[in-house]
Amino acid sequence: MELRHLRYFVAVAEEQHVTRAAERLGIQQPPLSQQIRALEAELDVQLFRRKSRGVELTQAGEALFHDARTILARVEHAVAAARRAARGEQGRIAIGFTSSVPFHPFMSRIIRGFREAYPLISLALEEGGTSELVDGVRQERIDAAFIRSPVVDPLGLEVRPLLEEEMVVALPAGHALARNDKAALPLSALAAETFILYRRPIGPGLYDSILAGCHRAGFSPRVGQEAPRMLSTLNLVAAGLGVSIVPASMQGLHMDGVSFKPLNDKPPLRAPLTFAHRRNERSPVVQRFISLISQAIAKPRSRG
C-alpha cells in the first residue's frame, strides 16, 4: 500500500463520488476506480458500496477512513516540519552564557526577538564559565555562547565583539565610600580594600582587566575571596566581606546590602560582551540566530 492509495481512497470517501474525486485529484476516473479496486483487493475487504448516484463507505471503509485521514495529516505535518527545519524555522538551539551576561539588555533583546520570530524553535540556555562554554561550542554540546573573556585559541570558532560596557564598584551598603551616591570614585580609593573577584579560571578576561586597572592606579589589589559566579560575588559584598568591580548592568539587580558607584579612571575599565559560534556553521537554526546577532551589531553600537 502506498500513500497515494490512501489519498485516492480519502478523496472518494469525502466526495462520495468517483468522478468528482478524480477531478479533485487531477486524474482520469477509470484509473482511480482501478486503484480503489486494487486497494480493496489488497485489504481483502469492500470499502465502498456503489449507489445510483455515487458511492458510500462500508463499515470497513469507515474504519479505514478515519485512520487514513490521520495518517495523511501526520505525513503532511512531517513534511511541513522537515521543510521548516531546512529553512531554520523549526528545531532546537542551545545557547551558553557567562553569569553576568543575562543582566545586560542586549542578550534579553536577542533572545526575546528570536523567540518571537521563530516560535517553533526550542531554545535551551546554559550558564557556565568562558572556557567551559568555548569547549562546549567546539564539541557541539552547545551551539553558541555569550562570553566576557577573550578566546585564547579561536581555532574553528568565529568570535564577534558585540559591545563594551562600563564597570562599577560594588560596595557593602553603609561603606564610607558609598555615602555620596553621585560622586564617582577613582580606583586608587580602593587601594586599602579587600577585593572579591569572579574566579579567574572561569572569567579570566574580567579578572585580568580589574587587576590591570588597579596596577595602573598604583596598587596591587588584596584579593580576599574568589567567587564561582558573579551573583555570588555580590552576595559576598552584601555580607560585608569586601568590595568588587562588576559590569554596570549588574546594577539592575538592586540587591539589598550592596551600593554601586561609578568609576572615573582614564582609560575607563570596560567589560566586553562577545559572541562565539562555530565557523562555517551548517545548522539552519543556528544560522538564523547568527543572522539575528549580525543584524543587531550592524546597528549603531551602544557602549553599555
What is the DSSP pairing of strand 258-262 with strand 157-172?
antiparallel
Over residues 133-174, the pLDDT tens digits come to: 999 999 999 999 999 877 777 888 999 999 999 999 999 998
CATH annotation of 166-270: 3.40.190.10
Equal fold, 3-86 vs 91-162+272-298: no
User: What's the pLDDT score for residue 180?
Assistant: 74
Question: DSSP labels for 273-304?
Answer: EEEEEETT---HHHHHHHHHHHHHHHSPPP--
pLDDT per position as a tens digit, 249-267: 999 888 899 999 999 988 8
Residues of the chain with pLDDT under 50: 302-304
Residue 119, SS3 per DSSP: coil
pLDDT for the residue 214: 93
- What letter would DSSP give residue 104? S
For the record, the C-alpha cell of 185 comes out as 570614585
In whole angstroms, give the CA distance from residue 88 to residue 111: 16
221, three cell numbers: 589589589
C-alpha cell at 42: 489488497
Q: Residues 104, 165: contact at Cβ < 8 Å?
A: yes
| Contact partners, residue 79, CB within 8 Å, separation at least 6 | none
One of 1.10.10.10, 3.40.50.80, 3.90.1010.10, 1.20.120.1200 is the CATH number of 3-86, namely 1.10.10.10
pLDDT given at position 302: 44
Class of the domain covering 91-162+272-298? alpha beta
Q: Is 247 exposed, middle or buried (0-12, 13-18, 19+ CB in 10 A)?
A: buried
- pLDDT given at position 228: 81
Give the residue extent of every domain in the chain: 3-86, 91-162+272-298, 166-270
Burial of 135 from C-beta contacts in 10 A (0-12 / 13-18 / 19+): middle
